[in-house]
Amino acid sequence: MSSAAEAEGGGGGRERLFFALWPAPALQEALARLGRRLVRKGGRRLPPEAIHLTLVFLGPVDAARRACLERLAGEVLAPPFELLLDRAGAFPRARVVWVGPGVTPQPLARLEAALREAAARCGLETDTRPFVPHVTLARRAAPVPAGPLPEPVRWPVADFALVRSRLRPGGAGYEVLRRWPLRA
């Protein structure tokens, strides 16, 4: 496989995909401003249009498995909920600065589990590590002190998305391919 094909998501008709919560543009802007306050120098802050919360990373996916994922995602039942982003932290080894909820809302945990199950039913293996909901704000950044945010960010979550990621020298580019409304 050529490096150009790898950069686009795997070549051979495969796309690098993941399920995510994708905030409205105004919320993406607010989170980008928060990132600028948390990471004052150094690091690479994410542009507002790239800010999201990954639910399940799927990796390279062929057309048949993508169709399966889309069909099963349409069957997922999860109610709309509010996500309170009230903590900042870092993954020091990965040099990532993030914000996330101090407590994972049950609807979020159920949504992630349902999408992981859909991926398994479509023949995809996903990460087996526990789900740690977070919104990445900067990469290659010095860690910030972990703790509560002075002003939590409230995110009314009404849908989830299937997203294509394309690796590029300046960072990943994302394209929302499809959205599904949350419903009980």
Does 57 qualify as catalytic in the annotation?
Answer: no
The active-site residue, picked from 45, 52, 66, 164, is: 52
Backbone φ and ψ for 80, nearest 5 degrees, come out as -60, 155
Distance CA 119, CA 60 (A): 12
Distance CA 107, CA 55 (A): 12
Closest Cα to residue 153, out of 96, 111, 100, 90?
100
Task: Say which residue the tokens 């020091």 belong to.
Answer: 92
Query: Would you state the structure tokens that stand for residue 147, as one six-digit string?
Result: 């703790």
How many CB atoms are closer than 10 A to CB 132?
A: 10
Does 163 qualify as catalytic in the annotation?
Answer: no
Strands 53-61 and 173-181: unpaired
Active site residues: 52, 134
